[in-house]
Structure 1
Amino acid sequence: MLKNDVIQSFENHHDKRIKKYLNLFLALVISSSIYTAYIIRYTNTSNKITQYSSGISYETYNYGLSKCEEIKRIKPDNNHIQSRTSNPRFVPGTKDILLKNARILDGIGQDFLGDVLLKNGIISEITNYDEKKNDINVNDDTVVIDLKKKFVTPGLIDMHSHAGVSSWPYLKGTDDVNEETDPLTPFVRAKDALNPSDPAIRIISSGGVTTSLIIPGSGNLMGGEGYVIKMRNVSTLSVDDMGINYGINPSEEKEWRWLKMACGENPKKVYRFQNRIPTTRLGEGWLFRKKFQEVRTLFRKQNDWCDSASKLSSNNNVQLDSPFPEDLQYDSLMALFRGDAKLNIHCYETHDLEAIIRHSLEFNFTISALHHALDAYRIPDVIKRANSQITIATFSDNWGYKKEAFQASTRSPKILADAGIPVALKSDHPVTNAQHLAFEAAKAHHYGLDEKLSIASITSVPARALGLNHRIGQITIGYDADLVVWDSHPLSLGATPLEVYIDGIPQFDTPNSVLSGKSKGSKRSSAQNEPIKNKVKRKERIASSVIINNIGKIFVNKDTIIEPKNSSVKDENISIIIKDGLVECIGNCVISNHNPPEVIDLNGGYVLPGMIAVGGSLGLIEIGQEPSTTDGFVPIINYPDSEDQVIKAIDGLKFGGKHLEAAYKAGVLCSITSPLSFGVINGISVAFRTGSYTVLDEEPIIESETALHVQIGVSFKNAYIPSVSSQIGLLRRTLLRAVFKPTTRNIYSKVAKGLVPLAVHTDNKDEIASLIKLKQQISNHGGDLRLIIIGGTEAHLIAEQLSKNNVSVVLSPSRPVPNLWTAKNVLIGSPITNTTGIEILVKHKVKVAIGVHNSAWTRNLVWDAGWAVTNSNGLLDEKDAVALISWNLEEIFNLNRKKLNKQGLSKGNIANFVAYDGNPFDLNTKVRLVAGGGRKDILIDPIQD
């Protein structure tokens, strides 16, 4: 009623009593209006209050109240969950399993001998023999296995994987890793794309990985929501059933969510091609802050709505006139702001890491983990400025592929750990094969990370970063029954699971006789268990002369190995004397006491000939994604009629780069590098010494025309040569023309005559078979093709034909994966297959060697060879391992023997070898000395950056 109407009514009444009541009514109306205006003005100007509102329904209002209750509800503290007696993922009918006499590495620093009972999908009981040795009571159906002191760890946890959203083999139809239509897609979910039939899931679990965080890729600033899964296939093929949160009670256990974001080069690169923001870090910073501000605004609106609603809760007839403010596209980010989501951010460089921490402080959210973060070791103090403890989820030694990965250090995990920052090692599968996650930890330990922290980096540390350390990541009563039984110490070279238990279920049905059988053992020296801090700190230095004493074994060449005849005779000393860069004596040397050079005691260590790298880009590429640091890619040759069209790698060599230095310090003293190409014909490779400074050095080049390199396969199809059949047809026409019209100058004639090898990069068995047929055809017309297969993923399928036709194989990578449709027939090895491709090739007497698939890992060649031997079921020995990376390659590529014989391990030669302080196939062994590789000086105690 309007005020004027009330006054008019008052004037029309003459009765004093009526006037009195009208006066009282007027006061009530005015007071009520003032009160309502006060509530609206001072409670929340954006939320209207109404009685029996027509603005929103009672149901909508109640929904808003329920959202407020959800916000206010105190979430369970997973760190204080009482011991669990069952696992909701337990499969009825699964038998209890008692692992007896196990060497338990529990993931949180304990190492003891004991028993573990797996029951109802959890770790039900543990006996530590150091404390007591009481038998665990079991029922008649319990499977009892005596492990005979084999190592047992928690199931490994990979907190950065794209398995299931980037499936093997790679196909466009299964590529769901990135929604790159917009730089800000926090609302998409990996859960909605995950392929539970990805063959990688079983392969990864065979390496002991039982839990993985599957996240979108790094093309977007905000890539979306991740999903944590157990790495076991479920009978329902249900993605929900694979989830770590399956069956939990949210009122008792917090149901975490996981977000993925990225900064730095990747988003810039993606959206620069689209000509839209962000094309710079400037744009990245703005978009981050803009989106965070939008979320913060919504966050405050929700809080204001709930505050207003709570003040009206006592009056059932009064409600707000607007619905609870929410927007599905902000749902995951709102979970972050409310502390219900763990944020994982892909960032590398110091300023990128600092920028995202700055954003978190400005908008008051927490960061769970910085991923990759290869620069983190340079700014530990900046990382500690964050409002919560951040885990660094990083690589052990993957580096150099782009600028932000170029200043990485192998010592990064140790530096960070020493600074009190948690370190997790992860795979970024399929960037690295998550099957070998334990190898990441082993390499980090090799470079200085404490053994217990190395184990924790793939178990308890990622569990804590994911908010799941109350149920996985350690061997503790009440935790999920996720365990791995290893054939050797998990940080030893080639360590392989014998059995993997997920939720108490054995994944590979390994016979108990194998689990109870003899352990493979491990080449871990006594120094392996020596605390890192107590080890001798050596300083890198150079010398021109040196005496190497107490050598355990010298691999001179394939015909000569020198070692003490009786290792128990202390006075028998095998030595090498190098004077002014030349080998003066080898074997039982008489050491003069007159002005002797520095003496290096190898303490039984090995000496190997300089290793040879094949298949990488050493000398031509420094930073792969920076064209100014590469030689560039040669033009595609469609009609190879002229010698002038063929490019020689020797003309583009750049010496002294970081990749070459890392290879040299690891004892890789020769590289065979071919020109870079997207086409069929790469060009002519060069064999050169990795330690050289320029081509003007004294004999830096071993062979200027090492081989003609060709690429065959789906990866090399282009607009000019669009099919594999046309690739092989081009090669056939070129070589047959060279046979029928030979010239002494033409490289193709030299190849057809066998004067220069033909190195073909290919993986598929049918393509390899076609090449064998081409070799036969060339032979039938008087030629002699010396065919080398580089890659060879499926070569084992035609091993007999390769042997009969004298075709060599350089396996690259040495542990292949089924990443291509045309190369999916891979023998993964134990515990999935009983043999590997390299074993089959060796059994058929194929000349085999190991190549380099990633230039960053050239320094790991000796480990690749050792891995092959360790897992060859006794077929290969140490001599075979050395052959795979040295003299086999010399023979395969027919390197100039005269030049090679001037350097090596013979008296009078220029020294060209690498010496270790132990067995090089033990990951604890370090390089003590590098001689040769194009340098006159000897490098002592080299340090890998």
Structure 2
Amino acid sequence: MATGKQQQYQTIPDYERGGSGPSLTPSSNQSWLRRAKRPALYLFLGLVVVALVVTVSLGFFVPHPKHPTPWQRQPVKAGITVQAQQEGIAKCEAIQAPRVDNVPRPDRVNPRGLGVQPVLLTNANVWDGEGGVLEQVQVLLVDGVVSNVAKSIHSYPKHTKVIDVKGHIVSPGLVDMHSHIGVDSWPGLWATDDTNEMTSPITPFVRSIDGFNPSDKAIRIVASGGVTSVLVLPGSGNLIGGEAFAFKLRHVNTTSNEDMLVQAHIDQTQERRWRYEKHACGENAKRVYGELGQIPSTRLGEGFLFRKAYDQATKLRQAQDDWCAAAQRSPARLESRFPEVLELEALVAILRGDVRLNVHCYETHDLEAFLRHSFEYNFTVAAFHHALDAYRVPDILKRAPNNITIATFADHWGYKKEAFQGSPKAPRILLDAGIPVALKSDHPVLNSQHLLFEAAKAHHYGLTEQEAFQAVTSVPARAMGLDHRVGSLKIGYDADVVIWDRSPLELGAAPLQVFVDGVPLFDEPVIESPEQKVAATPATESLVKDPSNNGVNSFVLTNIGRNFLDGDASTIVVEQGKIVCQGECAQALTGDLPSINLQGGYVVPGFVAVGSSLGLVEISSEDSTGDGVIAASTSQDPKQIVEAVDGIKLGTRHLEEAYKGGILSAITAPMSSNVVLGVSAAFKTGGSSVLTDGTLINPHVALHVQIGNAAKSASFPSVSTQIQFLRRILQENKEAENAYGEAARGDIPTIVQVNGKDEIATLLRLKQQIPSWQPVILGGTEAYLLAEHLAKAKIPVILSPALCTPGDYEQQHCLTGAPLTNETAAHVLHRHGVKIGLGVVDDGLARNLVWDAGWLASTSKDHQLTEDDAIRFVSTNLQEIFYGTRLGQAALQNDFTVYSGHPFDMTSQLVLVHTQENGLEWVSSVV
């Protein structure tokens, strides 16, 4: 209600006043009654009333039958318009209409591929995505559809392009059912981050398509890994995050994200168009909103909000059903329109079974709690995502009326408490329980370009080759309700096809060509016959574990298939924990030393973890489990330099898993947001205490600093202030007996975390100003652009990660690898003679370090980067960079591991570890 002066005049709407132009009506104190002659008016009204009373009482008024008096008319309710009622009835009919089943059909039409030049692939070995393997067949792609798959195809259009794939494996495009591509674009900028609408924990009404950026650099990069279809979900910051959409990773001429949808332009009378919704439970929402002091701050609050939202949606659904029943029962117009609430529309669609619900949930009790909600409100879950605890509760999952898919990681774990119980054996356990498993990336959490690597790791940990491949093809397609169109290479499916350069689950496998809707995405490749490789020895079957050898420190290893410690020596003799002989050691064989026949196993030096926080924190999101993070400071006081050795925690699960991955030592720096992180310590990952002999290799290894956007703070608001600070502390402490002085004189190396080429160039200038300074680049995404200068200055580069992404603005020149770039940064740096190491980016993935090295060797053009080079990248090169010829390197020269086969073969397993302190140890399976 208006107040004060606003109450004096009220504007009359045009539709009520008949004239043109603005009109004002006087307020009550200027009523027309006050301007009338009231006595005459009152007399006239009185006479009218008397006349009416007399007329009615005497019955003199006879109404006309066509014009009844007002008191004779029956009361009629206004009702809604005919058009509104018809619109509502149409919505009722849409709700009640039978749904079309999406089934494979040989005559399927793909509107996205009409008119595309047909392609005939010959001499193909097909993995069909459903577990089938077809050898030496032909595949015909016409109008964006797989038209035929047969031994010999004789009938095809005249203008068909024929490609001889020469025995390479051809497969359907990969399907990633959990991605944030397009809404969390590369490079990561505030302006392009549209992943979460975190203004309310309940946002079912937002849609990923409204934020999807068809110009995201990641689209082409991810497609270069063979991924052709993705489900783009909102993030997991909210309990109910919003609606998801399925896209093809092919740029279209219209630059329209709608035209990129998997089911763009389909005939919906022939094919059901599913909707998708994202929910999340557990840590994320309670952390986000708990920090704001609002509900939910606990899982209890999460449960209430889920129930409240679905309670409201249930009531709205019932109101809609009641309206439909009333409208269809009687032709009379209803009083109100078809009941709708935009905020609840998606939830009602879930209740009606029109939405594939994808739920981010990790722990056992979270999974069960959400199923409880689904039972209470009678809706189904299509897939639980992440779900690292799902392998522990298959019986609970089976209580659902449908077979819920688990969309999970192959081995990503440990980054927060709810991810801490994860096991790489989970896919095998779930499949054995009859629960379908899909592998996904959560891009950009993991780079979806390497989704196939997730399948390769799952194969390493127990899935069969075809089970692992199905987990990135037909299984996610089925969970999305799109298994009639994508995820399989069969007649009638979309022509999303990949030609692989090697067997897809081999380390470093990459596409030679990718077709989406029959359209080739990359330059026409030169296809040569694939290399013939000797079949790998089945993992661990050739080596029989003998627990009696555990702890022995004197022994002989024989029948070594390959010895990366000393050329091709097939025999190693160890006495009192030290290698005393390699090669022809006949004199030692006559003694009483126990002998172990490795049956062709490979001996490899122990790997070194650099760049991680191993030993300083167990669960990064839980402060109580770690040493803590040092705040930024402008202090130049060398007494303020923190040493990591004071915060080392041993015997943790992260260290245990790294140890089982062949990482026998770690060099860890303090965790800090400062320019100067502190001084790193080197220690054995299998040690139990820094007081145990041999565990602490070197308490004072290197000075660590960081330069770039990550180090910006109130203390250092710019990169230039960071470098100025570094220059000053080095120049002012050249003669000082402290860590700054040691670094300035080159007594210890200075590890500089930096990625951008321009910052690296500035560091090269600083090296010219202080020649004794010994910097080492850690990160180094764009270092390859300065490879010649780095080699000349003898500055090593520890690439971390080994395979980069342009995820940050400082990494825009990242070399992403085949088929987009012939080389990666490692190949370029190695060719120029730069000493290379590989770092660990994620503590939970430290056990994959050997595969990071193997990837580089397996993708080296003309094998210029050899297997021996790659092994050195993660072992002796790192020792030389940090220790030179000092104590640390000598302490590690007797530590090694034994693999059942080649360590770069992903079917091989690490089976033996030897350290000078603990002797020989048979390695148990990964947890």
TM above 0.5: yes
Give 1:509 shift.
Answer: 2.2
Give 1:320 shift.
Answer: 2.1
- Corresponding position: 1:636 with 2:632: yes
Equivalent-residue separation in structure 1 for 2:573 and 2:313 (angstroms): 70
The match for 1:102 among 124, 131, 137 is 124
CA separation of 1:656 and 1:524: change in aligned 2, threshold 3 A: farther
Give 1:902 shift.
Answer: 4.7
Give 1:326 shift.
Answer: 1.1
CA separation of 1:526 and 1:896: change in aligned 2, threshold 3 A: closer
- Corresponding position: 1:518 with 2:529: yes
- Corresponding position: 1:755 with 2:747: yes
1:914 matched residue in structure 2: 897
Letter in 2 for 1:452: Q
Q: What SS is found at the alignment partner of 1:320?
A: coil
1:746 matched residue in structure 2: 738
Letter in 1 for 2:886: R
Q: Deviations over 1:678-719 (max 9, x none)?
A: 110000011111111101111212222111000100111011
1:126 matched residue in structure 2: 149
Q: Which moved more, 1:543-552 or 1:576-585?
A: 576-585
2:303 matched residue in structure 1: 285
Q: What SS is found at the alignment partner of 1:89?
A: helix
Equivalent-residue separation in structure 1 for 2:703 and 2:114 (angstroms): 57
Give 1:547 shift.
Answer: 4.1
TM-score normalized by the length of structure 2? 0.89
Q: Deviations over 1:252-287 (max 9, x none)?
A: 100100000100000011001211000000000000
Letter in 2 for 1:486: W
Equivalent-residue separation in structure 2 for 1:393 and 1:542 (angstroms): 41
Give 1:895 shift.
Answer: 4.7
Give 1:668 shift.
Answer: 0.6
1:930 matched residue in structure 2: 913
Q: What SS is found at the alignment partner of 1:861?
A: helix
Equivalent-residue separation in structure 2 for 1:61 and 1:140 (angstroms): 55
- Corresponding position: 1:328 with 2:349: no
Letter in 1 for 2:550: A
- Corresponding position: 1:773 with 2:762: no
- Corresponding position: 1:865 with 2:853: yes
- Corresponding position: 1:841 with 2:850: no
CA separation of 1:858 and 1:713: change in aligned 2, threshold 3 A: same
- Corresponding position: 1:112 with 2:134: yes
Q: Please say if residues 637 and 645 of structure 1, whose CA atoms lie closer than 8 Å, have aligned partners that are also in contact.
A: no
Equivalent-residue separation in structure 2 for 1:411 and 1:627 (angstroms): 28
* Residue pairs, 1:264-275, within 5 angstroms: 264-275=282-293
1:18 matched residue in structure 2: none
Equivalent-residue separation in structure 1 for 2:837 and 2:677 (angstroms): 21
The match for 1:492 among 487, 506, 510 is 506
Q: What SS is found at the alignment partner of 2:733?
A: helix
Give 1:848 shift.
Answer: 0.9
- Gaps of at least 5 residues in structure 1 are 1-10, 14-32, 34-49, 128-132, 564-573, 905-910
Q: Please say if residues 691 and 935 of structure 1, whose CA atoms lie closer than 8 Å, have aligned partners that are also in contact.
A: no
Q: Please say if residues 704 and 751 of structure 2, whose CA atoms lie closer than 8 Å, have aligned partners that are also in contact.
A: yes
Equivalent-residue separation in structure 2 for 1:136 and 1:371 (angstroms): 45
Q: Deviations over 1:387-412 (max 9, x none)?
A: 21100000011111100001111100
Q: What SS is found at the alignment partner of 1:210?
A: strand
The match for 1:72 among 73, 96, 111 is 96
CA separation of 1:542 and 1:335: change in aligned 2, threshold 3 A: farther
Q: What SS is found at the alignment partner of 1:216?
A: coil
Q: Please say if residues 138 and 152 of structure 2, whose CA atoms lie closer than 8 Å, have aligned partners that are also in contact.
A: no
* Residue pairs, 1:545-694, within 5 angstroms: 545=552, 546-556=555-565, 560-563=566-569, 574-578=570-574, 581-583=577-579, 585-590=581-586, 597=594, 600-640=596-636, 642-694=637-689
The match for 1:138 among 147, 156, 168 is 156
Q: Deviations over 1:47-92 (max 9, x none)?
A: xxx97x522111111111101100110010113x532343111152
Q: What SS is found at the alignment partner of 1:319?
A: coil
Letter in 1 for 2:473: T
Q: Deviations over 1:650-672 (max 9, x none)?
A: 11001110111111111111111
Letter in 1 for 2:868: K
Q: Please say if residues 186 and 217 of structure 2, whose CA atoms lie closer than 8 Å, have aligned partners that are also in contact.
A: yes
The match for 2:364 among 350, 355, 358 is 350
CA separation of 1:421 and 1:579: change in aligned 2, threshold 3 A: farther
Give 1:537 shift.
Answer: 9.2
Letter in 1 for 2:149: I
Report how many aligned residue pairs link the two structures.
856
* Residue pairs, 1:251-400, within 5 angstroms: 251-312=269-330, 316=331, 318-400=332-414
Which one has a bigger Cα radius of gyration? 2
Give 1:736 shift.
Answer: 1.0
- Corresponding position: 1:90 with 2:113: yes
Give 1:639 shift.
Answer: 2.4
Letter in 2 for 1:72: Q
Q: What SS is found at the alignment partner of 1:453?
A: helix
Equivalent-residue separation in structure 2 for 1:390 and 1:257 (angstroms): 17
Q: Which moved more, 1:446-455 or 1:892-901?
A: 892-901
1:24 matched residue in structure 2: none
1:214 matched residue in structure 2: 232
1:39 matched residue in structure 2: none
Letter in 2 for 1:667: G
Equivalent-residue separation in structure 2 for 1:204 and 1:345 (angstroms): 24
- Gaps of at least 5 residues in structure 2 are 1-56, 60-73
- Corresponding position: 1:942 with 2:912: no
- Corresponding position: 1:697 with 2:692: yes
* Residue pairs, 1:790-829, within 5 angstroms: 790-829=778-817
Equivalent-residue separation in structure 1 for 2:249 and 2:902 (angstroms): 35
CA separation of 1:536 and 1:576: change in aligned 2, threshold 3 A: closer
Equivalent-residue separation in structure 2 for 1:540 and 1:421 (angstroms): 35
The match for 2:185 among 149, 167, 186 is 167
2:731 matched residue in structure 1: 736
Q: Which moved more, 1:893-902 or 1:873-882?
A: 893-902
Equivalent-residue separation in structure 1 for 2:878 and 2:707 (angstroms): 21
Q: Please say if residues 702 and 896 of structure 1, whose CA atoms lie closer than 8 Å, have aligned partners that are also in contact.
A: no
2:705 matched residue in structure 1: 710
Q: Please say if residues 545 and 922 of structure 2, whose CA atoms lie closer than 8 Å, have aligned partners that are also in contact.
A: no
The match for 1:544 among 551, 557, 566 is 551
Letter in 1 for 2:496: D
Letter in 2 for 1:603: Q
Calculate the aligned-residue CA RMSD, in Å. 2.3
2:874 matched residue in structure 1: 885
Q: Please say if residues 524 and 922 of structure 1, whose CA atoms lie closer than 8 Å, have aligned partners that are also in contact.
A: no
Letter in 2 for 1:57: T
Give 1:595 shift.
Answer: 6.6
Equivalent-residue separation in structure 2 for 1:143 and 1:619 (angstroms): 57
Equivalent-residue separation in structure 2 for 1:381 and 1:827 (angstroms): 45
Q: Deviations over 1:73-126 (max 9, x none)?
A: 0010113x532343111152x211111111111011111111110111000000
CA separation of 1:853 and 1:542: change in aligned 2, threshold 3 A: farther
Letter in 1 for 2:924: P
Give 1:504 shift.
Answer: 0.4
Q: Indicate the percent of aligned positions where both proteins have the same amino acid.
A: 47
CA separation of 1:85 and 1:408: change in aligned 2, threshold 3 A: closer
Letter in 2 for 1:765: K
Q: Please say if residues 123 and 476 of structure 1, whose CA atoms lie closer than 8 Å, have aligned partners that are also in contact.
A: yes
Letter in 1 for 2:622: E
Q: What SS is found at the alignment partner of 2:727?
A: helix
Equivalent-residue separation in structure 1 for 2:334 and 2:617 (angstroms): 65
Q: Please say if residues 120 and 504 of structure 1, whose CA atoms lie closer than 8 Å, have aligned partners that are also in contact.
A: yes
CA separation of 1:902 and 1:54: change in aligned 2, threshold 3 A: closer
CA separation of 1:478 and 1:540: change in aligned 2, threshold 3 A: farther
Q: Please say if residues 96 and 117 of structure 1, whose CA atoms lie closer than 8 Å, have aligned partners that are also in contact.
A: yes
CA separation of 1:480 and 1:537: change in aligned 2, threshold 3 A: farther
